[in-house]
Chain A
Amino acid sequence: SQTIHQWPATLVQPVGSPLSLECTVEGTSNPNLYWYRQAAGRGLQLLFYSVGIGQISSEVPQNLSASRPQDRQFILSSKKLLLSDSGFYLCAWSVMGSLGTEAFFGQGTRLTVV
Protein backbone atom coordinates (compact mmCIF):
# COMPACT_ATOMS: atom_id res chain seq x y z
CA SER A 1 0.00 0.00 0.00
CA GLN A 2 1.03 3.59 -0.51
CA THR A 3 2.27 5.73 2.34
CA ILE A 4 3.45 9.30 2.58
CA HIS A 5 5.99 10.51 5.10
CA GLN A 6 6.58 14.08 6.08
CA TRP A 7 9.05 15.49 8.57
CA PRO A 8 9.66 17.11 10.91
CA ALA A 9 6.27 17.26 12.64
CA THR A 10 7.00 20.58 14.32
CA LEU A 11 9.65 23.20 13.76
CA VAL A 12 10.52 26.51 15.38
CA GLN A 13 12.89 28.65 13.36
CA PRO A 14 14.19 32.21 13.76
CA VAL A 15 13.49 34.86 11.15
CA GLY A 16 16.13 34.84 8.45
CA SER A 17 17.09 31.20 8.91
CA PRO A 18 16.87 28.61 6.10
CA LEU A 19 14.17 25.95 5.82
CA SER A 20 14.03 22.46 4.44
CA LEU A 21 10.95 20.25 4.74
CA GLU A 22 10.98 16.80 3.21
CA CYS A 23 8.24 14.55 1.93
CA THR A 24 8.58 11.03 0.55
CA VAL A 25 6.04 8.63 -0.90
CA GLU A 26 6.28 4.87 -0.84
CA GLY A 27 4.44 2.20 -2.78
CA THR A 28 3.78 4.08 -6.01
CA SER A 29 5.72 5.37 -9.00
CA ASN A 30 5.54 8.69 -10.84
CA PRO A 31 3.12 10.33 -8.43
CA ASN A 32 1.92 13.90 -8.69
CA LEU A 33 3.26 15.68 -5.62
CA TYR A 34 1.98 18.80 -3.91
CA TRP A 35 2.84 21.25 -1.14
CA TYR A 36 0.01 23.09 0.61
CA ARG A 37 0.07 25.64 3.42
CA GLN A 38 -2.62 26.29 5.97
CA ALA A 39 -2.47 29.51 7.96
CA ALA A 40 -4.00 29.42 11.44
CA GLY A 41 -7.77 29.01 11.27
CA ARG A 42 -7.89 29.11 7.49
CA GLY A 43 -8.17 26.86 4.45
CA LEU A 44 -5.45 25.14 2.46
CA GLN A 45 -3.51 27.07 -0.15
CA LEU A 46 -1.67 25.25 -2.94
CA LEU A 47 1.99 26.32 -3.07
CA PHE A 48 3.69 23.97 -5.52
CA TYR A 49 2.95 20.88 -7.55
CA SER A 50 5.15 18.52 -9.50
CA VAL A 51 4.34 16.01 -12.23
CA GLY A 52 7.86 14.60 -12.49
CA ILE A 53 11.51 14.83 -11.45
CA GLY A 54 12.72 18.39 -11.79
CA GLN A 55 9.29 19.64 -12.88
CA ILE A 56 7.93 22.20 -10.44
CA SER A 57 5.02 24.57 -10.87
CA SER A 58 4.39 27.42 -8.47
CA GLU A 59 0.88 28.61 -7.74
CA VAL A 60 1.67 31.75 -5.76
CA PRO A 61 4.70 34.07 -5.58
CA GLN A 62 6.41 33.73 -2.21
CA ASN A 63 9.55 33.31 -0.21
CA LEU A 64 9.57 29.54 -0.76
CA SER A 65 10.84 27.14 -3.40
CA ALA A 66 10.36 23.45 -4.09
CA SER A 67 12.48 20.73 -5.63
CA ARG A 68 11.95 17.13 -6.70
CA PRO A 69 15.35 15.47 -6.85
CA GLN A 70 13.93 11.94 -6.99
CA ASP A 71 10.68 10.43 -8.24
CA ARG A 72 9.11 10.08 -4.80
CA GLN A 73 10.83 12.92 -2.94
CA PHE A 74 9.55 16.47 -2.69
CA ILE A 75 11.36 19.19 -0.75
CA LEU A 76 10.12 22.61 0.34
CA SER A 77 12.84 25.19 1.01
CA SER A 78 13.51 28.76 1.91
CA LYS A 79 16.80 30.67 2.07
CA LYS A 80 15.53 33.18 4.63
CA LEU A 81 12.33 32.66 6.56
CA LEU A 82 9.87 35.46 7.22
CA LEU A 83 7.37 35.70 10.06
CA SER A 84 4.60 35.30 7.49
CA ASP A 85 5.95 31.86 6.55
CA SER A 86 4.54 30.44 9.78
CA GLY A 87 1.83 27.87 9.22
CA PHE A 88 0.97 24.25 8.77
CA TYR A 89 2.60 22.68 5.70
CA LEU A 90 1.11 19.59 4.12
CA CYS A 91 2.51 17.36 1.42
CA ALA A 92 0.18 15.31 -0.77
CA TRP A 93 0.32 12.83 -3.65
CA SER A 94 -2.03 11.55 -6.32
CA VAL A 95 -1.78 9.15 -9.22
CA MET A 96 0.34 10.49 -12.05
CA GLY A 97 -1.27 11.65 -15.23
CA SER A 98 -4.90 11.04 -14.36
CA LEU A 99 -7.49 13.71 -13.93
CA GLY A 100 -9.80 13.27 -11.05
CA THR A 101 -7.94 10.75 -8.95
CA GLU A 102 -7.90 10.73 -5.20
CA ALA A 103 -5.24 12.68 -3.33
CA PHE A 104 -3.68 11.66 -0.01
CA PHE A 105 -1.97 13.87 2.55
CA GLY A 106 0.93 13.53 4.93
CA GLN A 107 0.65 14.37 8.60
CA GLY A 108 1.98 17.89 8.15
CA THR A 109 4.70 20.10 9.59
CA ARG A 110 3.76 22.89 11.94
CA LEU A 111 6.25 25.72 11.35
CA THR A 112 6.59 28.66 13.70
CA VAL A 113 8.92 31.46 12.69
CA VAL A 114 10.00 33.59 15.66
Chain B
Amino acid sequence: GIQVEQSPPDLILQEGANSTLRCNFSDSVNNLQWFHQNPWGQLINLFYIPSGTKQNGRLSATTVATERYSLLYISSSQTTDSGVYFCAVVNQAGTALIFGKGTTLSVSS
Protein backbone atom coordinates (compact mmCIF):
# COMPACT_ATOMS: atom_id res chain seq x y z
CA GLY B 1 0.00 0.00 0.00
CA ILE B 2 0.88 3.63 -0.17
CA GLN B 3 3.54 4.86 2.27
CA VAL B 4 3.53 8.29 3.88
CA GLU B 5 6.68 9.62 5.53
CA GLN B 6 6.90 12.81 7.52
CA SER B 7 9.97 14.72 8.62
CA PRO B 8 11.27 15.76 11.00
CA PRO B 9 9.67 13.55 13.66
CA ASP B 10 10.24 16.21 16.31
CA LEU B 11 10.80 19.95 16.12
CA ILE B 12 11.53 22.43 18.90
CA LEU B 13 11.21 26.13 18.21
CA GLN B 14 11.34 29.45 19.97
CA GLU B 15 8.28 31.61 19.60
CA GLY B 16 8.51 33.69 16.46
CA ALA B 17 10.60 31.23 14.48
CA ASN B 18 9.60 29.79 11.11
CA SER B 19 9.49 26.11 10.21
CA THR B 20 8.93 23.73 7.33
CA LEU B 21 7.40 20.27 7.72
CA ARG B 22 7.70 17.74 4.93
CA CYS B 23 5.50 14.87 3.75
CA ASN B 24 6.67 12.35 1.15
CA PHE B 25 4.34 9.76 -0.35
CA SER B 26 5.12 6.69 -2.37
CA ASP B 27 2.46 6.79 -5.08
CA SER B 28 0.23 9.21 -6.93
CA VAL B 29 -2.64 10.52 -4.82
CA ASN B 30 -5.99 12.18 -5.37
CA ASN B 31 -6.11 13.84 -2.01
CA LEU B 32 -3.70 15.16 0.57
CA GLN B 33 -4.63 16.76 3.86
CA TRP B 34 -2.68 18.40 6.67
CA PHE B 35 -4.03 18.18 10.21
CA HIS B 36 -3.04 19.64 13.55
CA GLN B 37 -3.77 17.46 16.57
CA ASN B 38 -4.29 19.64 19.60
CA PRO B 39 -3.41 18.62 23.19
CA TRP B 40 -6.92 17.24 23.64
CA GLY B 41 -6.46 14.92 20.69
CA GLN B 42 -8.81 16.63 18.29
CA LEU B 43 -7.74 16.66 14.65
CA ILE B 44 -8.08 20.10 13.15
CA ASN B 45 -8.21 20.35 9.36
CA LEU B 46 -5.50 22.71 8.14
CA PHE B 47 -5.39 22.17 4.40
CA TYR B 48 -6.97 20.02 1.76
CA ILE B 49 -4.29 20.30 -0.91
CA PRO B 50 -3.92 17.55 -3.55
CA SER B 51 -1.80 19.98 -5.59
CA GLY B 52 -0.70 23.60 -5.69
CA THR B 53 -0.29 26.12 -2.91
CA LYS B 54 -2.69 27.45 -0.28
CA GLN B 55 -2.31 29.93 2.53
CA ASN B 56 -4.29 30.50 5.68
CA GLY B 57 -2.88 33.20 7.92
CA ARG B 58 0.55 32.20 9.20
CA LEU B 59 0.26 28.74 7.66
CA SER B 60 0.73 27.77 4.07
CA ALA B 61 1.11 24.48 2.22
CA THR B 62 2.45 23.36 -1.11
CA THR B 63 1.95 20.00 -2.78
CA VAL B 64 4.00 18.93 -5.80
CA ALA B 65 2.04 15.86 -6.81
CA THR B 66 4.37 14.91 -9.68
CA GLU B 67 7.29 14.71 -7.26
CA ARG B 68 5.21 13.13 -4.49
CA TYR B 69 5.75 15.54 -1.65
CA SER B 70 4.02 18.26 0.28
CA LEU B 71 5.36 20.99 2.56
CA LEU B 72 3.68 22.78 5.43
CA TYR B 73 5.11 26.18 6.37
CA ILE B 74 4.53 27.77 9.74
CA SER B 75 5.68 31.36 10.07
CA SER B 76 6.09 33.41 13.25
CA SER B 77 5.27 30.37 15.37
CA GLN B 78 3.26 30.73 18.57
CA THR B 79 2.98 28.49 21.61
CA THR B 80 -0.52 27.54 20.49
CA ASP B 81 1.01 25.98 17.38
CA SER B 82 2.41 23.19 19.56
CA GLY B 83 1.06 19.72 18.92
CA VAL B 84 1.35 17.01 16.31
CA TYR B 85 1.05 17.75 12.61
CA PHE B 86 -0.15 14.93 10.39
CA CYS B 87 -0.09 14.52 6.67
CA ALA B 88 -2.60 12.07 5.17
CA VAL B 89 -3.30 10.86 1.65
CA VAL B 90 -6.12 8.84 0.11
CA ASN B 91 -5.13 5.23 -0.49
CA GLN B 92 -5.02 3.73 -3.97
CA ALA B 93 -8.46 2.19 -3.61
CA GLY B 94 -9.78 5.67 -2.90
CA THR B 95 -11.47 4.50 0.25
CA ALA B 96 -9.66 6.11 3.16
CA LEU B 97 -6.97 8.44 4.40
CA ILE B 98 -3.59 6.92 5.20
CA PHE B 99 -1.62 8.89 7.77
CA GLY B 100 2.04 9.57 8.28
CA LYS B 101 3.49 9.23 11.76
CA GLY B 102 3.39 12.95 12.33
CA THR B 103 5.74 15.74 13.35
CA THR B 104 5.61 16.78 17.00
CA LEU B 105 6.13 20.54 17.27
CA SER B 106 6.98 22.24 20.55
CA VAL B 107 7.02 26.04 20.61
CA SER B 108 8.37 27.71 23.72
CA SER B 109 8.02 31.34 24.77
In which size bucket is the chain A interface?
A: 20 to 34
A99-B90 contact in complex given A88-B41, A90-B43, C-beta closer than 8 Å: yes
Cβ contact of A107, chosen from B30, B42, B101, B102, cutoff 8 A: B42
Quick check: is B66 within 8 A (CB to CB) of the other chain? no
Cβ contact of B50, chosen from A42, A45, A100, A103, cutoff 8 A: A100
A102 touches B43 (CB 8 A): no
The SS class assigned to the A binding surface is: strand
Mark B22-64 against chain A: 1 for CB-CB distance below 8 A, else 0: 0000000111010100001111010010100000000000000
CA distance A57 to B96 in the complex (A): 11
Task: State how many angstroms separate the Cβ of B78 from the closest Cβ of chain A.
Answer: 23
Residues of B within 8 A of A92 (CB): 97
Task: State how many angstroms separate the Cβ of A46 from the closest Cβ of chain B.
Answer: 5
B90 touches A100 (CB 8 A): yes
A43 touches B100 (CB 8 A): yes
B43 touches A105 (CB 8 A): yes
8 A Cβ contacts from A65-114 to B? 88, 90, 92, 99-105, 107-108, 110
